[in-house]
């Protein structure tokens, strides 16, 4: 029989959580312990091609043209195995993935990366494109990636231990609300404690973990209500509380996890001063790293960007808008 190659391509955008995910209810199934809600961003994009090729002796994973080994490649192979099982395929795959943003700056790439990978592998395997299944596959690799399958505002519910499947769900499209998300770069180099390890360490050792899990649904509900009403103050306040709560939980671990750098705190004060002294609606969030992300209305974005760039230690500010769902081909 002739050797077969099957290939598929997908482009996915990164997302930023407005209500944060931190902690798992089931580690092997990678189910989140708390609900989260995100905004897909138009600016930070991953393009991935997957080719199943019967002549390959093993899976090959390239990120930005560099061959990946160890853990990075193992997580990709696990996702490919799920797709192969569903499609009844045996062939190994070549994965070629490119980020349009500097991964060295420590910006999250796993969300757009695993979403694009799941979608491209789905297409390459010849399966009909099914957003829910792609989101569930992406979620098993990295829970935040489940949300990058969809555009606009997206929720991911908490999972019950042992739950068979869990996908994200869009709650409002990108054109629902013309907000901006500014990313202030406050440090160079990859983060020291990845989110997977950081949240597990928090669960095992932080006295604040249980309180975080109990309170997170209320914060999520306020973020969701605020998004549906386009109420920036409601979203912003709940988002800041969600951010500070999960960081407090991580900091209280043993040993503590501290993602903040001096410019992180300086940028947080810039945001606060804009709000309190100038009456500009700007709200901050952070992920498992030192960068500060600011949610605001489109009309205020340029002014906030100038203030962030004038903050000691902020080297660059990217401006993103609500972004689209995964694009195939």
Minimum distance from residue 224 beta carbon to ligand DP6 (Å) = 14
Give 9 or 222: the residue with its C-beta nearer to ligand DP6: 222
The secondary structure element, H or E, covering residue 93 is: strand 92-99
Using DSSP, state whether 156 is helix, strand or coil.
Answer: strand
Give 91 or 146: the residue with its C-beta nearer to ligand DP6: 146
How is residue 256 annotated by DSSP?
Answer: -
CA distance 328 to 50: 12
Minimum distance from residue 90 beta carbon to ligand DP6 (Å) = 28
Give 97 or 142: the residue with its C-beta nearer to ligand DP6: 142
Chain residues in the site for ligand DP6 (CB under 6 A)? 17, 20-22, 30, 36, 110, 142-144, 195-196, 287-288
Asked whether the beta carbons of 115 and 326 are under 8 A apart, the reply is: yes
Give 142 or 167: the residue with its C-beta nearer to ligand DP6: 142
Asked whether the beta carbons of 46 and 97 are under 8 A apart, the reply is: yes
Minimum distance from residue 5 beta carbon to ligand DP6 (Å) = 30
Give 134 or 143: the residue with its C-beta nearer to ligand DP6: 143
Angle of helix 195-205 relative to helix 232-251, nearest 10 degrees, comes to 70
Give 87 or 171: the residue with its C-beta nearer to ligand DP6: 171
Instruction: Report the DSSP pairing between strands 60-63 and 5-19.
Output: unpaired
The residues near 321 (Cβ < 8 Å, ≥ 6 apart) are: 41, 42, 43, 174, 178, 179, 180, 181, 298
Query: Rounded to the nearest 5 degrees, what angle is found at the Cα of 149, between the Cα atoms of 285 and 62?
Result: 95
């Amino acid at each position: 029989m002739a050797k077969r190659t099957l290939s598929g391509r997908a482009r996915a955008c990164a997302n930023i959580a407005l209500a944060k995910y931190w902690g798992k209810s089931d580690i092997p199934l990678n189910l989140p312990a708390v609900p989260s809600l995100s905004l897909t961003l138009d600016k930070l994009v991953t393009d991935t091609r997957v080719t199943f090729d019967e002549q390959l002796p093993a899976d090959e994973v390239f990120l930005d043209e560099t061959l990946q080994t160890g853990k990075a490649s193992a997580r990709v192979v696990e996702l490919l195995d799920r797709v192969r099982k569903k499609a009844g395929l045996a062939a190994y795959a070549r994965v070629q993935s490119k980020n349009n943003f500097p991964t060295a700056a420590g910006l999250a790439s796993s969300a757009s990366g695993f979403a694009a990978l799941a979608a491209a592998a789905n297409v390459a395997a010849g399966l009909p494109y099914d957003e829910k299944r792609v989101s569930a596959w992406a979620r098993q690799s990295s829970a935040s990636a489940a949300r990058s399958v969809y555009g606009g505002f997206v929720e991911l519910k908490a999972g019950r231990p042992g739950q068979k499947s869990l996908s994200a769900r869009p709650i409002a499209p990108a054109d629902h609300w013309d907000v901006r998300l500014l990313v202030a770069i406050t440090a160079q180099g990859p983060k020291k404690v990845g989110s997977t390890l950081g949240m597990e360490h928090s669960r095992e050792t932080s006295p604040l973990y249980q309180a975080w899990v109990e309170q997170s649904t209320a914060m999520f509900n306020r973020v969701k209500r605020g998004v549906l009403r386009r109420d920036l103050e409601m979203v912003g306040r709940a988002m800041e509380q969600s951010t500070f709560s999960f960081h407090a939980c991580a900091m209280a671990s043993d040993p503590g996890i501290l993602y903040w750098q001096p410019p992180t705190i300086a940028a947080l004060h810039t945001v606060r001063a804009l709000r309190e002294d100038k009456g500009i609606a700007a709200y901050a969030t952070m992920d498992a790293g030192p960068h500060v992300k600011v949610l605001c209305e489109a009309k205020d974005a340029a002014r906030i960007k100038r203030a962030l760039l004038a903050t000691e230690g902020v080297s660059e500010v990217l401006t993103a808008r609500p972004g689209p769902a995964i694009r195939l081909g």
